[in-house]
Structure 1
Amino acid sequence: MSSDDVELPGWVRELLSESRFDRYLKRTGGEVDEAVRLYDWNVQVSAAFYGPLHWLEVSLRNALHHRLRERFGRADWWKSAQLADNAKFKIGRARRKVERRADSTPDDVVAELTFGFWVSLLSRTHDRQIWVPAAHRAFPHYSGPRSALHQDFMGMLDFRNRVMHHEPIFYLDLPEYHERIYRLLGHLSHEAARHAERTDRISAVLDERGM
């Protein structure tokens, strides 16, 4: 059942849009009030995922940056590293943005680069130039192949983007994503994973819908 078959409140049609609300309406069998409650819960569970995703993204970024800075002997390591064209483009865009400020530093460029950029450094394209000489050292608690790690992070990148762009996630295997965040964070640092768990509300929100 879609929004064409039921009478939606005006604010839902105008502010959420029929196309956006359809997925919720279909899940609840056309029950508008239940669909609104599901929408509210989707907001709550997305908010709960924000904290652990923050820890994972910032930890990956800084762990890779530290190892690459060591490898190339400079904070702006991208000036020496052999990178794919897409990675060079993203760095150039980040540099142009931060260099508008007179006091910009390489750390400002690092902070400007997206999660997708850092995940791309784990791809096959950067295997010889980045992974082998330096990036693998960012994961002291991981001993598997680079390809599996990259695939895991690619899935997390897609999930992260859904959360940050306010997309529906209620239909996904949220307990699996919850576990994956801590598995990946644990590859970087067991201590960071334990710290992030202290304020984690995901399990409590999932329990509200018996997940």
Structure 2
Amino acid sequence: MNINKLEQYLSPTRFNRFLQATNHSALKAEELYGANLNVAKSFYPVLNLFEIVLRNSIDISISTHFGDSDWIINQKNGFMSDKSLMASNFYLKKSIEKAQKTITNKKVTVTSGKIIAEQSFGFWTSLFETHHFKLIGGCVIQIFNNKPKHINRNIITKKLTKIREFRNRIYHNEPICFNGTNIDFTEANQVKNEIYNLLKWIDTDLATYVQNFDSIDDEILLAMNI
């Protein structure tokens, strides 16, 4: 595509950042834009698998804690309605109610499985925040049964927050190849390493499995050679 036309459709403001990082070479800016997309694309299977593993591991942990496989429905009027959650505007409860409405509008039966599938990544990571964590007896940290002893809830929360924020940048088409105006994938590498550490803390076999779908390093290397 013609560079001027590409800049028009991407917006001059967005494309200008790529121009600055490549010494205003339109050709290299276009290549870098494509390389950034390819690195972002390479994160999709890794992020997807991590999110599924985290979600299902948390579901099992909380189901065991309450002795209830339908906790995500039944606890809407349980711990999710605790008055201590007023400051968070009962985020979990409202997320469940929204999911139930969405499923009902599709004219299908509301089940725990369908509600679980409707929840955002932020829903699951929020269960490690203090106000939720204490109401479920801190059971969710038990999913990381291989973690080092010094790793506590606060450290886990920071790691999950970093991954979630990076994930959102990818899902909202924000570039992940910059540090200021410099081409830099340091953060992307850090997030990748955080994901693998957390997977290993859940089950070492998970990290091995996810690596089968991981082309992140290869795409970053191609991008850095622009």
Alignment of 1:3-152 (within 5 A): 9-78=3-72, 79-80=74-75, 81-83=78-80, 84=85, 85-100=90-105, 101-130=107-136, 132=138, 134-142=139-147, 143=149, 144-152=151-159
Matched residues in 1 for 2:101 and 2:112: separation? 12
Deviation, 1:52, is 0.8
Matched residues in 1 for 2:96 and 2:143: separation? 20
Matched residues in 2 for 1:175 and 1:35: separation? 22
Deviation, 1:127, is 2.4
| SS of the residue 1:149 aligns to | helix
Letter in 1 for 2:201: H
Q: Is the 8 A contact 2:40 2:176 kept in 1?
A: yes
Letter in 2 for 1:34: K
1:154 maps to 161
Query: Is 1:208 equivalent to 2:222 in the alignment?
Result: yes
For 1:148-197, what per-residue CA distance to the aligned partner results, in whole angstroms no more than 9, with x for missing partners?
00010001000001111221001242221221110122222211111001
Matched residues in 1 for 2:104 and 2:58: separation? 22
Deviation, 1:131, is 5.0
| SS of the residue 1:125 aligns to | helix
Q: Is the 8 A contact 1:139 1:187 kept in 2?
A: yes
Deviation, 1:123, is 0.8
Deviation, 1:58, is 0.6
| SS of the residue 2:79 aligns to | coil
Q: Is the 8 A contact 1:55 1:196 kept in 2?
A: yes
1:3 maps to none
Deviation, 1:116, is 0.6
Question: Cα RMSD over matched residues?
Answer: 1.8
1:169 maps to 176
Deviation, 1:13, is 3.2
1:180 maps to 194
Question: Unmatched 5+ residue regions in structure 2?
Answer: 179-184
2:181 maps to none
Identity %: 27
Q: Is the 8 A contact 1:122 1:131 kept in 2?
A: no
Question: What TM-score does the superposition give when structure 1 sets the normalisation length?
Answer: 0.89
Deviation, 1:14, is 2.9
